[in-house]
């Protein structure tokens, strides 16, 4: 595998941050190269999934949070709803992610998410900077992002890596947040190993709809209390795009960054004008637990 040039041209000006130097989680490095899809495996069935690449434990005291590598995708101005740009952004790198959208103000989402995990390190209204590198490092902090003139808050749970633990966690978090905030919450997960994607829609703690499919293939699962199962022979990106657009959700192209004790949100040009605010949550020991498994 060819080495990837990291971003070494970061601004020298100090950045206001709530993260303490020397107290950051473990790190990993994962190059942004597309892996070949491996047939029609089920994302939710660990017995048929090939394991994701192991994360290299390179952490020592004072190093930055766990990182992966993200490819730059800076194009046109972004729309206010939909996931097309986000999917293209992910397909150009390691297309694995877990996130949730919560229909509530960012302060409420950040507070409840941090409380749910007992997180003590929260950077509110984190600095936002344009992404500057073709390949860039992605920190393991949880990015909570508010979109301008939009009632939904997006929580980026993991980028460039997903496993069964991520999938279970994001579903439980969406269920719990929707109950605590008396609102809707939707998960969205992509797994490159199986070529599968899935979403779940919760409202006030109850599951209303779920779907799982192979991209370009079969709609494995569709259960809904809201509508009938759509007739689809091959599920393309327009399936998820239609669902999230109907909910008026926009998922921006962005990711958390950490270097030299400073944290910020790196944003692709096509999403710069869409983001009103971002908070960063450090779950601390969570990364350590994942690495030890």
Rounded to two decimals, what is the model's pTM?
0.73
Residue whose C-alpha is closest to residue 136's, from 231, 36, 5, 21: 5
Q: In this structure, what is the dihedral angle of CA atoms 242, 153, 147, 67, given to the nearest 10 degrees?
A: -100
How much is the pLDDT for 51? 30
Contacts 24+ apart (CB under 8 A), 104-111: 104/151, 104/153, 104/177, 104/181, 104/183, 105/146, 105/153, 106/144, 106/145, 106/146, 106/153, 106/276, 106/277, 106/279, 108/181, 109/144, 109/153, 109/155, 109/177, 109/181, 110/144, 110/279, 110/281
pLDDT digits (tens, 9 = 90+) for 105-151: 999 999 999 999 999 999 999 999 999 876 678 898 999 999 999 99
- Integer Cα distance of 127 and 202 in angstroms: 31
Q: What is the pLDDT of residues 73-116, one digit of tens each?
A: 444 444 479 999 999 999 988 899 999 999 999 999 999 999 99
State residue 137's pLDDT score.
84
- pLDDT tens column, 11-56: 333 333 344 333 333 333 332 333 333 332 333 333 333 332 322 2
156 contacts: CB under 8 Å, gap ≥ 6: 97, 99, 142, 143, 144, 145, 254, 255, 256
Distance of CA 107 to the CA centre of its chain: 19
Q: Residue 195: is its pLDDT beyond 60?
A: yes
Q: What is the mean pLDDT of residues 150-161?
A: 96
Dihedral angle sign, alpha carbons of residues 220, 225, 230, 236? negative
Q: What is the largest CA-CA distance in the chain?
A: 55
Burial of 9 (0-12, 13-18, 19+ CB in 10 A): exposed
Question: Is 220 in a helix, a strand, or coil?
Answer: strand
Query: In whole angstroms, how far apart are CA 100 and each of 29, 201, 275?
Result: 24, 10, 16
């Amino acid at each position: 595998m060819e080495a990837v040039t990291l971003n070494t041209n970061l601004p020298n000006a100090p950045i206001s941050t709530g993260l303490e130097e020397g107290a950051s989680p473990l790190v990993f490095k994962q190059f942004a190269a597309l892996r070949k899809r491996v047939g029609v495996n089920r994302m939710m069935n660990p017995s048929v999934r090939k394991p994701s690449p192991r994360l290299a434990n390179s952490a020592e005291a004072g190093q930055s949070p766990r990182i992966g590598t993200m490819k730059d995708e800076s194009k046109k101005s972004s729309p206010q709803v939909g996931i097309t740009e986000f999917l293209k952004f992910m397909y150009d790198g390691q297309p694995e992610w877990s996130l949730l959208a919560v229909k509530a103000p960012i302060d409420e989402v950040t507070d409840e998410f941090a409380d749910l995990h007992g997180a003590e390190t929260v950077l509110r209204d984190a600095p936002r900077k344009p992404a500057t590198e073709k390949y860039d490092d992605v920190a393991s902090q949880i990015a909570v992002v508010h979109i301008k003139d939009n009632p939904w808050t997006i929580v980026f749970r993991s980028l460039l890596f997903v496993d069964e633990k991520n999938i279970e966690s994001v579903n439980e978090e969406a269920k719990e947040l929707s109950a605590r905030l008396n609102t809707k919450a939707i998960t969205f997960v992509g797994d490159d190993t199986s070529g599968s994607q899935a979403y779940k829609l919760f409202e006030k703690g109850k599951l209303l709809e779920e779907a799982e499919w192979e991209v370009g293939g079969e709609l494995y699962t569709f259960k809904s209390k809201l509508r009938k199962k759509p007739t689809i022979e091959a599920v393309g990106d327009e399936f998820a795009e239609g669902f999230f657009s109907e909910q008026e959700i926009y998922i921006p192209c962005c990711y958390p960054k950490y270097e030299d004790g400073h944290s910020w949100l790196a944003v692709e040009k096509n999403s710069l004008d869409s983001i009103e605010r971002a908070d960063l949550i450090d779950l601390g020991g969570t990364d350590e637990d994942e690495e030890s498994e």
